[in-house]
Amino acid sequence: MGTEQSTVLQVRDLHVQVHNQKGNSTIVQGINFELKRGQVLGLIGESGCGKR
């Protein structure tokens, strides 16, 4: 039998908007994910795209 990894982060229905000179921009819409102990999450994107 395998051992079940415990969940350390769970995100459901994440929405992110930013306000800029042109108004509101949707950056993320409806993202779901789960991170279990021992897993690694990477965020990639172009330089200057706001990954902070």
DSSP letter at 45 equals: -
- 14/32 Cα distance (integer angstroms): 7
pTM of the predicted model as reported, rounded to 2 decimal places: 0.66
How confident is residue 6, by pLDDT bands cut at 50, 70 and 90? very high
Structural domain span for residue 49: 1-52
- Mean per-residue pLDDT of the chain: 88
Residue 50 has pLDDT above 60, yes or no: yes
* Sign of the CA dihedral with 31 first, then 16, 44, and 8 last: negative
pLDDT score at 45: 86
Average pLDDT over residues 3-30: 91
